[in-house]
């Protein structure tokens, strides 16, 4: 069961004042807060986020488990300063090779099934979980990027 907290939706609150709501039955009576039952989350890429472009291999010790040797070589060749992809434009926060990006940079059912063993009907939830973990790891769990992602996908 997912815990829903005020901190997920309140911007600018001091960390010490964020209180989790342990009483889920009260949430349906708070119309400004989405509940798990009131919205279906649908994965989509959030333009100018760029969290997935942080490729630091130290954050992904299992790369060789899901990338072929040629893909691993390509992946490692793309890692630039600070772990950021050499194709990530920091000023626009966009990928310079987006339309021609490698397979491992794509969120597609076939790719996720082949690389991670994720069945097509599970790709949406898997992609949401992966993105949330990556965004929180790169920018923080109270960042503008995670708030934008949550809003975009319907969390």
DSSP string, 22-41: --GGGGGG-TTS--TTT---
Do residue 127 and residue 105 come from a single domain? yes
Long-range own/partner contacts, residues 70-75 (CB < 8 A, 24 or more apart): 71/102, 71/103, 71/104, 74/102, 75/102, 75/104
Do residue 15 and residue 59 come from a single domain? no
pLDDT of 39 reads 53
Do residue 47 and residue 21 come from a single domain? no
For residues 83-92, average pLDDT:
96
Do residue 47 and residue 88 come from a single domain? yes
pLDDT digit string, tens, across residues 60-83: 899 999 999 999 999 999 999 999
Q: Which of 4-13, 27-36, 51-60, 68-77 has the lowest mean pLDDT?
A: 4-13
- In this structure, the dihedral spanned by the alpha carbons of residues 50, 51, 52 and 53, taken in order and rounded to 10 degrees, is 60
pLDDT surpassing 90 at residue 24: no
For residues 103-111, average pLDDT:
93
Q: Which domain holds residue 98?
A: 43-153
- Cα separation, 87 vs 79, in Å, equals 9
pLDDT of 134 reads 95
The total number of structural domains that make up the chain: 2
Record the pTM. Answer: 0.71
* 3-state SS class at 9: coil
């Amino acid at each position: 069961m997912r815990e829903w907290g005020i901190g997920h939706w309140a911007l600018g609150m001091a960390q010490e004042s964020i209180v989790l709501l342990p009483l889920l039955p009260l949430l349906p009576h708070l119309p400004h807060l989405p509940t798990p039952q009131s919205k279906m989350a649908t994965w989509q890429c959030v333009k100018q986020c760029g969290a997935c472009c942080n490729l630091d291999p130290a954050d992904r010790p299992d790369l060789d488990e899901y990338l072929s040797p040629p893909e691993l070589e390509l992946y490692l060749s793309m890692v630039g300063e600070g772990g950021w992809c050499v194709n990530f434009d920091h000023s626009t926060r966009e990928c310079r090779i987006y339309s021609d990006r490698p397979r491992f940079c794509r969120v597609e059912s076939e790719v996720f099934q082949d690389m991670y063993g994720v069945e097509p009907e599970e790709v949406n939830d898997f992609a949401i979980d992966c993105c949330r973990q990556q965004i929180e790891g790169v920018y923080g769990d109270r960042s503008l990027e995670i708030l934008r992602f949550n809003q975009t996908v319907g969390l």
